[in-house]
Chains A and B, each alone.
Chain A
């Protein structure tokens, strides 16, 4: 069966596209799926860093497109998860090095022997965005519960509609339940009301995400992290399971206490 191509995008930069891509990739691989994470942010690569595979890059996606290596040679296998691999971006080139048709060709090849290809898109709505959209079967929009990120997500959804892509699905990243319950942050329902698309997951703001990103060990591997659980739930939803959403709201105290608990755990470990 041919694999599915999923592109992760946002419009606004810095909302957590790369973190989301890496963690959904890890979570799907933990469920036994064969996954490639593909970094389409040519010139600003960092999916490899978040996945902790930077030091093993020999070839990248531009080498594949320009015929300097076979696709298989450029794929980096993750030693922790045998089903997971990475196709890194080139750091020394720019977006023009990979055209939409090139990426479609690469993805069609990857589709043959993987279940999922997750593409980490560049921020913005320019060339890099359009290239990353071209091969996508499904598009995931990442946003933060803040007005500027939601506005940009709205713009991207409009562009995808104009391009007649299937309706995108939404991931709300970095939700702070205690701030929401004080009424100082947009709630997920506010975001959904504005964007009016299907919700795929809510990732709570979790210090462990930052720590794990810096260590190159995606938080989805961490059984204790709430954010990790949220990513694993997203992976299950992508596989068609009906997983109820975790409730964060109105539990700020329990939640904070819980956070403190796992944080101190993290430091000991």
Chain B
């Protein structure tokens, strides 16, 4: 089988998923896309997805079929990018975008960097397929995420700003917040229990790492301090940053 697989990227508008040529004709590509969604429901739930289909010429019914399939997985289709004019017309007719937005670097300042942490070599949890099909890039976001915003990236996410209650951050890799993290966060959303979450003020509504999840303590915090959350012996542990040297 060809090594070519689905690629997933995160941009400001949501996820961008590219179906490679090797996935074959539409019904088969659609079925394989659905298998991919089933493999990591935690990552895809609630996402917005733009689909790059290449030279496939889709009818309005085809596009409706994928939109409805995605909706069953709580994924909203916001764009369908095809090389074929008639598919573009059909997508536009359904109110979908047909182009990816031109990156405005001044507005977003989202850049892609190589991950600092090598992919875990130890046995991957059975729930997640090896993330070879995942763009292993980090996304840097320099703005505050307010209630109602949901950020997805298959790689890691770095936020320079705050994450307010009601906002959600879902990353395949680590999540680093240079600011307050008071929303919901899921690191290692493909099932990577080795992922970490750190923030200058780590007080998330819910903290999920891989297959684990926890809440912040109910009592009000005394003073914000930088902390890191990671999974240790089967539960999420939160450790304060120690200026005199780190454990581990």
Contact = CB atoms under 8 A, between A and B. Distances in A.
Interface of A: 151-152, 154-155, 157-159, 161, 194, 196
Contacts of A196: 144, 162
Interface string B171-209: 000000000000000000000000000000000000000
A151 B165 contact: yes
B231 to A, nearest CB: 29
Nearest to A161: B146
Interface of B: 143-149, 162, 164-166
26 contacts: A151-B147, A151-B165, A151-B166, A152-B147, A154-B146, A154-B147, A154-B148, A154-B165, A154-B166, A155-B146, A155-B147, A155-B148, A155-B166, A157-B146, A158-B145, A158-B146, A158-B147, A158-B148, A158-B149, A159-B148, A161-B143, A161-B146, A194-B164, A194-B165, A196-B144, A196-B162
Nearest to B143: A161
Q: Is the interface of B mostly helix, strand, loop or mixed?
A: loop
Contacts of B149: 158
Nearest to A194: B164
A107 to B, nearest CB: 27
B103 to A, nearest CB: 16
Nearest to B182: A194
Contacts of B165: 151, 154, 194
A155 B144 CA distance: 12
Contacts of B145: 158
Contacts of A154: 146-148, 164-166
Per CB-CB distance, the 8 closest pairs between chain A and chain B, nearest first, are: A158-B146, A154-B147, A155-B148, A155-B147, A154-B146, A154-B164, A151-B147, A151-B166
Contacts of A161: 143, 146
Contacts of B144: 196
B78 to A, nearest CB: 14
Contacts of A159: 148
